[in-house]
Structures are given as C-alpha cells and as structure tokens.
Amino acid sequence: MSAWLEEWNSRQDVYLGDRHRDRHYRAVAHDIVRLLPPGARRVLDYGPGDALCAPRIAAACEEVVLCEAAETIRARLSDRFAHHRAIRVISPRQLADLPPASIDLMVVHSVAQYLDPAELDTLLEQARRLLGAGGRLLLGDLVPPEAGLVSDTAELLRFARREGFLREAAPALLRLAFSPYARRRHHLGLTRIDETQMTARARRAGLSGHRIRPNIGNNQARWTFLATPAQTPLRPAR
C-alpha cells in the first residue's frame, strides 16, 4: 500500500468540521451533476472518500459506482449505502470486473495529488477501457506546480466565509496545521501537474482532454481536466 493510501486508510482529518465536510461534498456533487454527459446512465467515482452526496448524483443517473481503495472508508461506504438501490461500492481490484465502455462519467476528484506517476498512468488506462463513446473522465482538484499550503488555506477561508463557517474555521485551521495529515503532507508532498503534462499523459492512454473552468468543488487554486476517449468530440455540459 502506498504511504498516502495508508494515511487515508488510517485517518481523514482534512476537514475543519462537520459543516465543512458537508458543504465540500455538496459542492462537488453539484458540479458532478452539472458535468454529466447527456443521457448518462452510470457514473464511477474513483476515490470518493465518504461520498456524503452520492445519492444526489444517483438521483441524476441510473447507477453510481463508488470505487474506494482505503478499506476503512470503503467499509463505511458499504454500510451507509447497503440499502441504496442505485449506489454500489467496490474496491480498485473490482474495476477489472466492470465491462469495457460501461461508464459514462468517471470522476477522480482530489485524488491525483496522492498518486505516483505509475498509479496515475494505470488509472488513465482504466478510464480509457471503461469509458463508452462520448464518456467523460473528470479529474478535479489537480494541484498545479505553483500551488501550496498558502493558496489552499486562502481558498479554504474563502469557502468558509461563503458557506458561513468562518468562525469555526480559524481554530480548526490551527488544529489542522499541526495534524498528522499536515505532517504527512510535509514529508510526502503532493503530486503536482500542469495542463501540458496532464494532456500528454492522457494522450498516451488514448484520451483527449483539456482544462475546464472553474475547478469542481471549492478550491480555485487547483484545476480540473476533462477528457474523452480520443477522437470523440466533447458534447456540451448540461
């Protein structure tokens, strides 16, 4: 298991509190629904975390498949959605069981920064196999080379002010700055990538894509890449 995956498997202390967690998942789900290809039936969310708003996405298509590598998170997801008829929870190994071209939208939001180059390439190849004609890969929250803790903090404070949890944010930010996550981030670093690099990596996997604005979710210091199987023109988002 990679060091970052181990970290996510053992704790998930990146949120300032319940309101931050709730607003974060709401914002991401809102954007995912906005970017569904017309007529989309199946959405695959890779590295969905706690996916608090997966039902919102499921309401806009036929099925949401949550593929989570961290066992502890996956167990929580399996419990939470055990009785939801349109949400399925799987492990990365089970991706191989999904038929080719069976996914209309594959979402990978705020995950790529924890992947090493080989893991990212494997994921892009899996996306290429799983996406149907006109299917989309949405890679959100990519960390550009110039972004860092300062821009992430500024974006978080802006989000807190907009969503009404600024008062709780200041002490929580201080706690976060000294959290195990912050120490891990300092030691392991995040994988950074710009549009030229991402476009080339996607092309090697048989995908054609480009940056879209704004970034999905709430951190505009990061960015989003939208790709389709090569030679499939992008249809307008609804």
Ligand X SMILES: C[S@@+](CC[C@H](N)C(=O)[O-])C[C@H]1O[C@@H](n2cnc3c(N)ncnc32)[C@H](O)[C@@H]1O
Residues that bind ligand X (CB under 6 A): 2, 4-5, 8, 24, 28, 47-49, 68-70, 73, 109-111, 114-115, 119
In the complex, the smallest distance separating the C-beta of residue 30 from ligand X, rounded to whole angstroms, is 12
- CB closest to ligand X, residue no: 49
Nearest 10 degrees: CA dihedral of 126, 65, 220, 190?
Answer: -50
Between 49 and 135, whose beta carbon lies closer to ligand X? 49
Cβ of residue 32: shortest distance to ligand X, in angstroms? 9
Q: Which residue, among 76, 68, 113, has the nearest Cα to 94 in the 3D structure?
A: 68
Nearer Cβ to ligand X, position 104 or 119?
119
Looking at the Cβ atoms of 181 and 196, the one nearer to ligand X is 181
Cα separations (Å) of 218 from 30, 161, 163, 233? Answer: 11, 12, 11, 27
Q: What is the DSSP letter of 93?
A: G
- If DSSP codes are grouped into helix, strand and coil, which group holds residue 100? coil
Report the nearest approach of ligand X to the CB of residue 108 (Å).
Answer: 8
Contact between 46 and 67 (Cβ < 8 Å)? yes
Nearer to ligand X, 70 or 227 (CB): 70
Question: Rounded to the nearest whole angstrom, what is the least distance from the CB of residue 139 to ligand X in the complex?
Answer: 11
Helix and strand totals (H; E) in the chain? 9, 7
Whose tokens are 């939470």? That residue is: 80
How far, in whole angstroms, is CA 17 from its chain's centroid? 20
The CA angle 211-7-32, to the nearest 5 degrees, is 30
Residue 55 per-residue DSSP state: H
**Minimum distance, C-beta of residue 177 to ligand X, in the bound complex (Å):** 17
Minimum CB distance to ligand X smaller for 28 or for 202: 28
Structure tokens of 195?
């549009």
Closest distance of CB 54 from ligand X, Å: 10
CA distance linking residue 231 with residue 238, whole number of Å: 21
